[in-house]
Structures are given as structure tokens and as C-alpha cells.
Structure 1
Amino acid sequence: MKPTQRFIRLLLAALSWPAASVAFAQGLLVPQAPPAAPQDTLTRAATSVGIKRCLPAITRLSSLTVQGSRSHDVLLDWDRKRPDAGPVFSLIGMEFPNAGVAASITAIPDDSGACTVSAERISVAPFTCASVGQQELASYKMTRLLPNYAVYTDEKEPTSSVSLIDSPPGCLIIRRYVEYGWRDPAAVPGAAPATAAGQPPKKR
């Protein structure tokens, strides 16, 4: 699998968390096909301030992030002097039928024309972290950093992680993904077609 194809597949896996109890019921790591996304506020905001180089990555991430939400809005920080050459930081708040969810998306362009991107999606499940880990992350490697904080990783996705933090009576879930040197598949000559942005990952 080419790096660009792998990146799109991992973006889908990293950013397809449904909200709270719906997430656990449908499967934390293998979400079902999401409904149509609302208008993407982050892409619109980034475009309005002159961000172009990393806009394709921002659009892919943000459109996946807000899928299924009733509404969302964004807090955007960027380099006012060099909007298209500096880093972009965003915090997205989303309203789902049963819960609120937060996500952060960061994009940093480099001199080669590529972008370093990171995305985190933060939600709360109404279950203990132990039950989430046992039922949904059994095949992942668990590293306990604190008595109430465990990180789960999969060797197939070395730049992706799931953090579970006990927050009684629920569990704080942080899904994180980082990619260095990302390039828009549409701009790479001879690149294979990328997976459609709205298509969920296949079950393992």
C-alpha cells in the first residue's frame, strides 16, 4: 500500500469516533457508515484567512471530524504575517445527539511543499476505561503511564494511538494521529486514487 493510500485509511480510522454511548455501541475502532457531514466550518475559516498549502489535508481531516454532528464551530489560530507558510492550529467543538465532542487539527507546511498534520478527537464514554480497553482494544498494546491513564497502540499504525483516562463515572477517550511529510494525492503525479473521504475503513 502506497504511503498516500495508507495515510487516508488511517485518517478515516483516527477520526471516525461517534459520540459517547453511540461510539461504544457501534464499536470504538470500527465505526459504521456516517451520515452526511454538515458544512465544514474549519475549511471555510482556513480559506478565508489565506491558507492554501495545507488546505487539502485540513479539509480531509475536518470533514471527517464533523460527520454526524448536529452542529459545530471552530477556534482558529494562525500566523497573521505568513498565513500560508506558518502553522495552523484549530479546536473544534461539536454537538451530537447524546454528547459533546472536541477535536483539534494542526497543520504545519514545510519548505518542500509537504505538511505535517496531527489530529485528536476527544470524547467521553459512559463506561469504565477497563471495559473499553478489554472489549474494544484487546488486540492493541497497552502502556500504563499513570494509575488512571493508559495508552493503546497498534504496530500496524505506528503514528496512531488511543488514550484512555479514567474520569468516573465515565472514560475520557483521546484518539490521536500524526503524519509527517503529507502530500495531497491529487497533486502527486502518478499517484493512485485515494480512498474516498466519506468512506469508512473496512473492518479488520
Structure 2
Amino acid sequence: MNTRLLPCMAAVALSLASDLAFAQGVLAPQAAAPQDKLSTAASSVGIKRCLPAIQRLSALSLQGARSHDLLLDWDRKRPDSGATFAMLGIEYPNAGVAASIMTLPEADGTCTVAAERISVAPFTCASIAQQELGGYQMSKLLPIYTVYVDPKEPNSSVSLIDSPPGCLVIRRFVEYSWKNPAAPAAATPPPKR
């Protein structure tokens, strides 16, 4: 999975509905590197196949975070073969962001993953585009809504939505058939003679 996920992800704190609920002390001090609550929660409800993708996305989201919490939703009848959705709230020293992470196991053993990082910048969208998105292709969807795509990273995008006096920034990443790079490679059968 590509390191460009970092801008797309945000760390999260966790709150689960139904009979499984995880609570974190709101007033408890946070360690320098917050515990990955999303991976812990996903594992505890029986998610295994896409857990490496969740761990990777969550770890990227938590880099530099002071604290986080999350909402997790999953297929309770098929936790390891159904979709998983997480909404994360992340607190950084200077800002707060929201992030969403979605995984879906595929029949071939891979996972489809999608992540978004949502923040508000105290700058105009035009100034953000000029400073950060040089070389990106621009598509104007509405007078207030523009999407930018880096041709070298077509599975990622940055949406800028004018929200005076600032700008709503949504960084998105999608990857189909994601394979865990740490998983052992499947043995290739020898050629037939």
C-alpha cells in the first residue's frame, strides 16, 4: 500500500454500537503514540482477512496524532467476509480531522480499501491548490467544488470545497485487489514438461 495514504487517513477513536462496545477514558492521558484502537476493535470482532489493510491505514492515520476515537460498523453475521466501515476522529496538536476507512474482502483473498481524510483549512481553496497541488489535473464540478488528481497516483484525489472563510479538504484513496505486502508469496507451480 502506497505511502500517499497518510494524507488520506486520519486516526480515530472507537465506539461500537450493539452488544460489543469499547470505551476509552475521555480524561485518561494519551501516550505519545496512541494505541491503534481501530485495529484492536476490528480484531476483537473477528475481522481477519482485511486486518492487515486496516492496520496499515490506521497506522498511517495516527502518525502525529495526540488522541483519537472511532465508530466501527461491520457485518455481524459475516465479520470476516463482509465489509467494514470506520469513522475516525483524530486530534493533532494544531487541528482535528475526520477520516473514514472501508475494507471489503474479495473472493481471491485480496481486499478493496477506501479511505478519506476530511479537514478544514483556514485558507482559500485557491491558495491550497497553488501551494500543494501543482502538477495535478483539475476538474471543476461546481463553482465551489474542484477535484485534483495527480496523474502518477490516479487512485487518489483531493477535493477542495470553498467554505468561506476557509476550505473543506477531502483527500481520498481507493485501491482494488490490495494485497498485504508482508504476506508470503504464493508458491508458483513448476512448469510442466
Mapped partners of 2:45, 2:3: distance in 1: 29
Sequence identity percentage = 67
Give the secondary structure class of the aligned counterpart of 1:53: coil
**AA paired with 1:78?**
W
Q: Please tell me whether residue 60 in structure 1 is matched to residue 56 in structure 2.
A: yes
Aligned to 2:2: 8
Q: Report the equivalent of 1:78.
A: 74
2:51 corresponds to 1:69:
no
Kept after mapping to 2: 8 A contact 1:91/1:105: yes
Structural mapping, 1:126-165, within 5 Å: 126-165=122-161
Q: Which amino acid aligns with 2:5?
A: L
2:101 paired residue among 105, 119, 131: 105
Change (3 A) 1:71 1:12: closer
Tell me how far apart the structure 2 counterparts of residues 74 and 115 of structure 1 sit (CA, whole Å).
21
1:7-41 Cα offsets, whole Å, 9 max, x none, are 33333454489xxxxxxxxxxxxxxxxxx641111
Which consecutive segments of 4 or more residues in structure 1 shift more than 6 A?
none
Task: Give the CA deviation at 1:139.
Answer: 1.1
In the alignment, is the contact (CA less than 8 A) between 1:91 and 1:103 conserved in 2?
yes
For the residue of structure 1 that corresponds to 2:2, the secondary structure is helix
- Structure number, greater radius of gyration: 2
Inter-partner Cα distance in structure 1 for 2:4 and 2:89: 22
Decide whether aligned partners of structure 1 residues 14 and 95 sit closer, same or farther in structure 2, where only a CA change above 3 A counts. closer
**Paired residue for 1:115?**
111
Contiguous gaps of at least 5 residues in structure 1 = 1-6, 18-35, 191-204
Q: CA deviation at 1:97?
A: 2.1
Instruction: Tell me how far apart the structure 1 counterparts of residues 185 and 6 of structure 2 sit (CA, whole Å).
Output: 23
In 2, are the aligned partners of 1:16 and 1:65 still within 8 Å (CA)? Answer: yes
User: What residue in structure 1 maps to residue 20 of structure 2?
Assistant: none
Deviation of 1:117 after TM superposition, in Å, equals 0.1
Report the Cα distance in structure 2 between the residues aligned to 1:97 and 1:187, rounded to whole angstroms: 35
The 8 Å contact of residues 37 and 63 in structure 1, kept in 2 or not, is answered as no
Matched residues in 1 for 2:138 and 2:159: separation? 9
Note if contact 2:6-2:61 (Cα within 8 Å) is conserved in structure 1: no
Matched residue count: 166
Which residue in the other structure is 1:170 paired with? 166
Residue 45 of structure 2 is aligned to residue 87 of structure 1: no
Distance in structure 2 (CA, Å) of the matches to 1:16 and 1:95: 9
